[in-house]
Amino acid sequence: MDVHSLPIIVCESCQGAGAVQGGACRTCGGAAVGMQSHGRFLFWERLVNGTEIAYRQSSESVHRLFVMIFGTILVFGIAGAGLLFFQNQTKFLPLIGGVWLIFLMLLVARMIRHTSVQTEVIPHTYLQSDSSVGPTATSWSEARRLSGAAKQNITTAFSADLLHAIERAFLIAEQNHSAFVTSSHLFAAILENHRMETLSMRLLIRPKDFLQALQPHLVGAAPKDTEPQIPRETWQLLFGAYEIAWESHEPVVDIADLAAVIISVDESIQTIYDDFEVSQEKFANALQWERVRSRMQRARAARVSGSRGRGKGDTNRSMTALATPFLNSVSSDLTKASWYGHLEPMVGRGAELESIFRVLQSGAHGVLLVGNPGVGRRTIVNGIAELMVAELVPPELADKRLMELDVARLLSGASAAEAEDRLLEALYDIARAGNIVLVIPNIEKMIGISMGTGQSMDVAGVLANELSKGYLLCIATTTTESFNKVIANQALGALFQKVVVDEMDVNTAIQVLEAKSNQFEYQHDVWFSYEALDRAVELSNRYLHDDYLPKKAIQIASEAALYVRNRRGKNQFVTAEDVSAIVAEKTKIPVTAVSENESEKLMRLESAMHERVIGQEEAVTVVANALRRARAELQSGKRPLANFLFLGPTGVGKTELAKTIADVYFGDEAQMIRLDMSEYQDTNSIYRLIGRPGEQGTGMLTEQVRQKPFSLLLLDELEKADANVLNIFLQVMDDGRLTDSVGRVIDFTNIILIATSNAGTRYVQDEIARGTSMDHIKNALIHQELKDQFRPEFLNRFDAIVLFQPLTQAQIVSVARLMVLGVAKKLSERGIGLRVTDEALANLAEAGYDPAFGVRPLRRVIQDKVENAIAGLLLENKVQRKDTIVVSETGVTVEKT
Amino acid sequence: MIRGATVTSRAFLTQGFETLTTPLWWYSFGIVWLLGAVKNSAVATWEHLGVGLWARNLFVPMYGQSDIWGRIISFIVRFVNVIFRLIGMALWMVVLMACAIVWCAGPLAALVLLYVGVVRLVA
């Protein structure tokens, strides 16, 4: 909604003041500001000026004083009359009685006259015919001719808190010598409200700090004793608040509505919030917290008032329904549970409820709610129960009981024939009672259970048969997977109208958490900051792919509350970092903020990697930069953290670098999923990667990534894989996701994909021998040599194609030193030292170097010449603890301590 | 300060005047308010007692007993229910009427009591 385009008209005679020279304005009749909207003329009839505000305050005090005086007189009157009566002084009693009666009437009249009239925001009308559109007004003369029903004084739909805030805004403007009451003054006044104070605390902003930042915007330069005026822009905000309340179906315009309008238009307030690291969207969501709470309170009140006329028993109000003793024994009464307030409230899901009601009103006898586990199918059913109790449902559901069938209780311990009897008996109860709406949760549990042998029926068949008779109103739920697998093709599936319950969007899930947070706060004696809820939804949405919103976010928030209670004690705030810690613990993904230690480690990634990888400067730099970008969360979040292609001859450190990345970035070499692509040389091997159709958990690639979403994916010898297999990785590298054989979407956005290949090795070696530069070789390789192996669009998906260079003799010595250090480490665990002379090392390097095989022969040489000799010494017990084994040119000897 | 003093005296004057003119309000706007309150209470009680609902279902068998005896017993029970609920409604209307009468007679009763009191004192 664009507040500035609201067609408000401000009275020209009184300039929106509502009064001229102490009397009501003759042009607008005191209505001051108005607007035609929602079929009515809305106007503002409440004087907002210094005198009127002071008068209202005084008037309230004087009223209280009168009430107190009259009340005291009445109490003393009764006491005095009693005293005189017991003293037999009855001649005074008529006089006292007369006076007492007069004061009683004065008090009653006063109480009635001083009760302010509260109306509601105009309700939405969905079926408006042309004739129902009443007369409209675009000028004051037209407006004054309208009947009372065609107009509304919007101040009567404003909450007392909001009216008070508007008056406070005027006084704040006056105190700050501002010539106008602006949005800043309104916001400052709003922040004084205790509910907004709480909201600020949840945003981790001290109201005092915010007001301090706002102060420069409050101060004006008007001469002393100048009364601030309300400009058109401010009127638009006030009418805008009414519009927002209308759009949100709120019956009362409250503080949150005005705050929402102000934040949407006032850039200076947006900037202050930005400085406190609160975006406009975040503030809007936090405001919803306030709204959700008020809405829940109102819903509770509506439930209480609506349920007054409703009985708790089995029958309906007209007593036509029958008791259902058997059904009661195999099901639970959701309407009764709601009547007692045992069901959790529903937030959002208005569209789904509307669909369900529409389906039931259309004459269908069954609605099937289809959605993934955790999306809130059960909560929708609870919501229906709540609306049934409050009698806010279509006639088809009015004055009925919502009974949830317990399939396990129905079928347990029964023989085939008995089970069929039980189901029919329960359905018979429903048919006789006539006031039952049946809920069957997870209806797929009823399919595939055969009763008896031979030609006997399936439970689902019995249910389908009864459902088709039309006496039964049924709401069932199932998962998307079960629906596709077992229900869609069944007779039962055809009898139900499907209503899809999608996973909630992030903002609605935050609102659900806002509604649920109360419960966790009460249970664990902690407070949730808005950031914590926001992070719970964001991280669970990003990293927990086995569950769905809002359930997974609710679980995280619940655990975070307990975590804070155990770590820091009572009355502490649950912060975003606490939530991150829980998610990090669950997923092993470092989602917490980068600590100082970690930051230092990230800055010297190259040297850390060079501790294990010798040479290959380009590769190490490219990888280190990619890892830093990933940890600083600069990547798009829609692709893997990085996609690399490592090219080069064997034995130059390609796999070793991949292992190093797994160790350095993911914390463990084991966080690596390694696929030897030579095993996927035909088209059919795709199914080994993503799973056999319909069989869950059979994909080598998808299943491993699903279980370890934060890991390094190493595709060894990529050039050997079939071209169709490589096509799968096109999507992985581009979208960061892959659908497995059972339709689950596997997330690849937290993996680092590294493919290694020996393709073009001969060419590289030849060119190096000719002395061609590495850049030239790499270009020629990508543009010519690799074309036969990989398609250009495939190569294009890699963030970097790194050509590993053959190792020089000096580098080989370093590699030999690293390998020997590995042996020394193993020996040190036994308390034995190892010393290798430089000459021996050089000899080993020389013996182990083969340009065609890189450093692989070196490992064999070290095995033969060092490890074998040491093994001999150990087995012959020639070496003891604290001895040192010396490897020199002459051989392996022992240096005794 | 001046504004404060002015508005306070204005508030006292207004509410003092309001108090003095209470009898006029009592028999004008007060009566209108009373009629509204009586109407709202009567409608709410009618809904609460469900008289209309019982009357509409007069010939509908209770608890699904649609055999002849079930229908006869249901009709009798429903008829008795309608009668008792109507009696309840009537009683409540009497209470409301009594309130209305008390409202109207209140000021007169006060005057009578004052008159009697003064006469007794003088005598």
Q: What is the predicted pLDDT for the residue at A597?
A: 66
- Please tell me if residue B10 touches chain A, with a CB cutoff of 8 Å: yes
Count CB neighbours of B81 within 10 A: 19
Whether a cis peptide bond, with omega within 30° of 0, leads into A550 is yes
Domain ranges of chain A: 57-113, 158-293, 309-500, 506-587, 596-803, 809-895
Q: What is the mean pLDDT of residues A696-723?
A: 87
Q: Which of residues 65-84 of B touch A (CB under 8 A)?
A: 78
What is the model's pLDDT at position A536?
93
Q: Which CATH architecture has domain A158-293?
A: Orthogonal Bundle (1.10)
CB atoms within 10 A of CB A897: 8
Which residue in this structure is represented by tokens 């649950």?
A574
Which of the listed CATH numbers 3.40.50.720, 3.40.50.2300, 1.10.8.60, 3.30.70.660 matches domain A506-587?
Answer: 1.10.8.60
CB contacts < 8 Å between A and B, how many?
116
* Domains A506-587 and A809-895 in one fold: yes
Q: Quick: pLDDT tens for A368-426.
A: 999 988 898 999 999 899 888 877 788 888 888 999 999 888 888 777 677 888 889 99
Nearest-Cα residue of chain B relative to residue A101: B110
pLDDT tens digits, residue range A595-639? 656 677 778 888 888 888 888 888 888 888 888 887 776 666 678
Q: Measured between alpha carbons, how far is A220 from A710 in angstroms, rounded to an integer? A: 56
Choose from A133-137, A139-143, A348-352, A840-844 the range with maximum mean pLDDT: A840-844
Mean pLDDT of A109-118: 88
Torsion of CA A163, A169, A175, A179, to 10 degrees: -120
- Burial (Cβ within 10 Å: 0-12, 13-18, ≥19) of residue A542: middle
Higher pLDDT, A128 or B103: B103
Measured CA to CA, the distance from residue A891 to residue A557 in angstroms comes to 64
Q: Can you give the pLDDT at residue A595?
A: 60
Please tell me the distance from the alpha carbon of residue B9 to that of residue B6, in angstroms, as a whole number. Answer: 5
* B85, pLDDT greater than 60: yes
Query: What is the least distance, in Å, from the CA of B77 to any CA of chain A?
Result: 11
Give, in words, the CATH class of A309-500. alpha beta
Q: Which residues of A606-633 are buried (b: 16+ CB within 10 A; e: fewer)?
A: eebbbeebbbbebbbebbbebbbebbee
Q: How many CB atoms lie within 10 A of CB B95?
A: 12
Nearest residue, CB atoms, B64 vs list A63, A113, A434: A434
Query: Looking at the predicted structure, is the pLDDT value of residue B3 above 70?
Result: no
Q: Strands A331-333, A473-478: parallel, antiparallel or unpaired by DSSP?
A: unpaired
What is the complex's ipTM, to 2 decimals? 0.90
CB within 8 Å: A321 and B112: no
Q: Is A69 on the interface with B (CB under 8 A)?
A: no
Task: State the CATH class of domain A809-895.
Answer: mainly alpha
Mean pLDDT score, A26-52: 87
Q: So what's the pLDDT on residue A125?
A: 61
Task: Indicate whether A133 pLDDT > 90.
Answer: no
Checking if the pLDDT of A311 tops 70, the result is: no
Query: CA A842, CA A794: separation in Å to the nearest integer?
Result: 42
- Given this model, what pLDDT does residue A665 score? 80
Cβ(A144)–Cβ(A9) below 8 Å: no
Minimal Cβ distance to B19: which of A66, A92, A98: A66
A47 CB near a chain B CB, below 8 Å?
A: no
Q: How far apart are CA A636 and CA A373, in angstroms?
A: 28
Q: Report how far residue A409's alpha carbon sits from residue A655's, in angstroms, rounded to the nearest whole number.
A: 57
Which residue from A minimizes the CA distance to B8? Answer: A58
CA distance A133 to chain B (A): 27
**Mean pLDDT of all residues belonging to chain A:** 85
Residues B53, A315: C-beta atoms closer than 8 Å: no
Q: How far is CA A650 from CA A210, A655, A806, A815, B103, in A?
A: 62, 9, 9, 15, 105
CB A640 within 8 A of CB A735: no
Question: At A866, which amino acid appears?
Answer: V
Q: Does residue A553 register a pLDDT over 60?
A: yes
Residue A116 has pLDDT above 50, yes or no: yes
The arithmetic mean of pLDDT across residues A200-220, rounded, is 92
| Per-residue model confidence (pLDDT) at position B15 | 92
Domains in chain B: boundaries? 36-122
As given in the structure block, the two tokens for residue A514 are 């806002």
Amino acid at A549: L
Contact A159, A253 (CB under 8 A): yes
CA pair distance A768, A776, nearest whole angstrom = 10
A742 has a pLDDT exceeding 50:
yes
Q: How large is the average pLDDT for residues A127-146?
A: 66
Nearest CA in chain A to B57: A318
Does an H or E element contain A37, and which?
strand A33-37
Tell me the mean pLDDT in the region A879-892. 85
A61, A63, A94: residue with CB nearest B113: A94
Q: Which two tokens stand for residue A764?
A: 């590289």
pLDDT given for residue A240 in this prediction: 95
- In the sheet with A473-478, reading across from the earlier edge strand, the strands are A331-333, A401-405, A436-440, A473-478, A366-370, A497-500
Q: Mean pLDDT across chain B, nearest whole number?
A: 89
Q: A736: phi > 0 → left, psi -120 to 50 → alpha, else beta; which?
A: left
pLDDT at residue A653, rounded to an integer: 85
Which helix or strand (DSSP H or E) is residue A631 part of? helix A617-631
Asked whether A50 and A58 are in contact (CB, 8 A), the reply is no
Note the pLDDT tens digit of each residue in A447-501.
765 544 444 456 778 888 888 888 888 999 999 888 888 888 878 888 899 999 9
Rounded to an integer, what distance in angstroms lies between the CA atom of residue A374 and that of residue A547? Answer: 6
**Euclidean distance between CA atoms B90 and A249, whole angstroms:** 39
pLDDT tens, position by position, A259-302 = 999 999 999 999 999 999 898 888 888 888 888 888 777 767 76
Fold for domain A596-803? Answer: Rossmann fold (3.40.50)
